[in-house]
Structure 1
Amino acid sequence: MKLTFFDNDIPNFGDEVNRTMWGHFTPPDFFDQDESELFIAIGSILYDDYPAAARKIVAGSGYAGYSNAPNVHDGTWEILFVRGPQTAEVLGIDPSLAVTDSAVLLRATPLPDPAPNIGAAFMPHFDSLQRGDWAKVCKMAGITFIDPRDPVDRIIAQIRGADVVVTEAMHGAIVSDAMRTPWVSVLPIHKAHRFKWLDWARSVEIDYQPKRLWPSSTREALTFFTGHHGIGARTKRVLDSAPTRPFTWAIEHIAAQKLQNLVKQTPQLSDDAVIERVTDRAVTAIETFVKSRRSGDKPIRAAE
């Protein structure tokens, strides 16, 4: 059985959690590279292009519109649980399978100690770092920059030590909420990353109230105002050239000011009882599945 997640050239916190977390719930030899059976884990990875003959086990993944919705009713899918109600609705499955994002399982694992002196922090979407300059803007604003490309334990320690986390990265909010650190969501600069937020928020009974994020560079401004990716070589050459530097300076200073305002917004946090309930449900689903495999049983739960 192959542990399956978005394995990008650029490390990304939400995806990288898969590398470290699942070993706390499975025996050492549970996963291998056999692609005839896929354990579809943390991430917006419910795509329509998985091998038709492969058995597909869904463990808290979500649908985000990055592809057409898969047909999970063809007999090859076992749904342990999905990220939220929107995913369940799109897939046409039993609403009771909408538990929450499986990163909540971090609550049931050993955690690094909170990092000291974090204060207010900001985590951008890793995609934004291809076009933005958030480390510089955070420094200007006097706010801790949480780099989603950093090692998982470092990021968790920073989140645990923060007073509040402003986050463009959905898993910045998911893990902050799981760690009981108040968070402020901001709309992702690129619109493609927005659908999935409401899916998760509904799973933990949060009224999703994202704020506006100001771009941190001319290239990010292009994406913000036009929806273009802003990562091509020609775009980089033009927008990073000398004539644009006054605009870049202005954008950076506005972004720093806006970020300072965002950390003063009323943060969000799910109810303690809700996060305990969804954690227990997720742990039970994984433990039941792992136990069934240890006994040699391979049931397929029909997606209803």
Structure 2
Amino acid sequence: MKLTYFQGDPPNFGDELNATMWAELLPEGFFDDDPAELFVGIGSVIQHNYPKDAKKVVVGSGYGGYTKKPDVHDGTWEFHFVRGPQTTHALGLNPDLAIADAAILLRETTLPEPAKDIKVGFMPHYESIERGNWKEACALAGVTFIDPSHPTDQVMAQILGAELVITEAMHGAIVSDALRTPWIGVKSMHHVHRFKWHDWAEALNIDYNPVFLFPSNLREAWALSTGRGGSGRGAMAVCTSRPAVPFNKACTHMAARSLQKLAHQTPSLSSDAETERATERAMIAVDGLIKRYAQNRAFA
């Protein structure tokens, strides 16, 4: 079975958890890189563009609306659990499969030591690293910049050590919630990333109300106002031109002030009972997965 997940440039924290978390939860030798069986784990990776004849084994993934809906009833899909109720509804699956995002299982793994001297951290969406100016905005605000392209242990240590995480990245919220760090979700700059948040939050009965965060430069303002990514040639030329410099600087300062204000708002956190229930159900599903495939394989 081949571990399959989105691999971006730069790498993205939520997706990269697949490379480390499953190695601890599954037996050694579970993955053999056989493309005839694809393990579909953390991420919005229930998509239509997998090889038609390959078996797709879904363990805690979600449908994100990034592609058209796959035909999950064609006999090549095997579901152990999915991220949330909106995934089951969109794909016509058994509602009982909606447990939580697989990253909740970090609670069952060895965690790094919490980073020290972090009060408030901010994690942008990984696309906002290149598009935005959040490192400078965080420095101006006195907020720790949590870079989702950094190694997963480093990011988790920062989340564990923070008193509050403000996040545009969904897995910033998912991991914060799983590790019991209060969090505030901000509305993503690009609208395409918003469906998946509600899917996950509904699974844990979180009253999710994303808050507005001022864009850190003109490219983000363009993405927010148009619903596009802010990477088009025309937008790039205008937003990075010399006349735009003072406007970009003003945006960065306004974004810093926005972060400071958000740090005083009431954060979100699922109940201990909901989190423990979802973790237990997800682990039962993983145990079932291991037993199913252990019948024909000798794991170390």
TM-score normalized with structure 1 length: 0.95
Q: Find the aligned partners of 1:161 and 1:80 in 2 and give their Cα distance.
A: 32
Contact 1:25 1:287 in 2 (8 A): no
Note the alpha carbon deviations across 1:26-68, whole angstroms, 9 max, x for none: 2222112211111100000111121111111100000111111
Note the alpha carbon deviations across 1:261-290, whole angstroms, 9 max, x for none: 111110010000110010011111112211
Per-residue deviation, 1:295: 1.9
What does residue 188 of structure 2 align with?
A: 188
Superposed, which structure 2 residues align to 1:64-213 within 5 Å? 64-213=64-213
3-state SS, counterpart of residue 163 of structure 2: strand
Contact 2:14 2:43 in 1 (8 A): yes
Contact 1:57 1:80 in 2 (8 A): yes
Of the structure 1 ranges 27-36 and 197-206, higher mean CA displacement relative to structure 2 is found in 27-36
Contact 1:123 1:168 in 2 (8 A): yes
What amino acid sits opposite 2:95 in the alignment? P
Per-residue deviation, 1:76: 1.2
What does residue 18 of structure 2 align with?
A: 18
What amino acid sits opposite 1:178 in the alignment? A
Note the alpha carbon deviations across 1:188-240, whole angstroms, 9 max, x for none: 00001001000000011111111011110111111111122222455434322
3-state SS, counterpart of residue 122 of structure 1: strand
Contact 2:5 2:45 in 1 (8 A): yes
- For structure 2, the residue ranges without an aligned partner over 5 or more in a row are none
TM-score normalized with structure 2 length: 0.96
What does residue 221 of structure 1 align with?
A: 221
Contact 1:118 1:161 in 2 (8 A): yes
Aligned CA-pair RMSD? 1.1
3-state SS, counterpart of residue 248 of structure 1: helix
Per-residue deviation, 1:18: 0.3
Give the number of equivalent residue pairs.
297
What does residue 285 of structure 2 align with?
A: 285
Per-residue deviation, 1:166: 0.5
What does residue 295 of structure 1 align with?
A: 295
Q: Find the aligned partners of 1:238 and 1:186 in 2 and give their Cα distance.
A: 26
Contact 1:130 1:231 in 2 (8 A): no
What amino acid sits opposite 2:25 in the alignment? F
What amino acid sits opposite 1:7 in the alignment? Q
Q: Find the aligned partners of 1:66 and 1:169 in 2 and give their Cα distance.
A: 16
3-state SS, counterpart of residue 137 of structure 2: helix
Of the structure 1 ranges 97-106 and 235-244, higher mean CA displacement relative to structure 2 is found in 235-244
3-state SS, counterpart of residue 39 of structure 1: strand
Q: Find the aligned partners of 1:72 and 1:84 in 2 and give their Cα distance.
A: 16
Contact 2:222 2:235 in 1 (8 A): no
Identity among equivalent pairs (%):
54
What amino acid sits opposite 1:176 in the alignment? S
What amino acid sits opposite 1:65 in the alignment? G
Contact 2:3 2:31 in 1 (8 A): yes
3-state SS, counterpart of residue 140 of structure 1: helix
3-state SS, counterpart of residue 69 of structure 1: coil
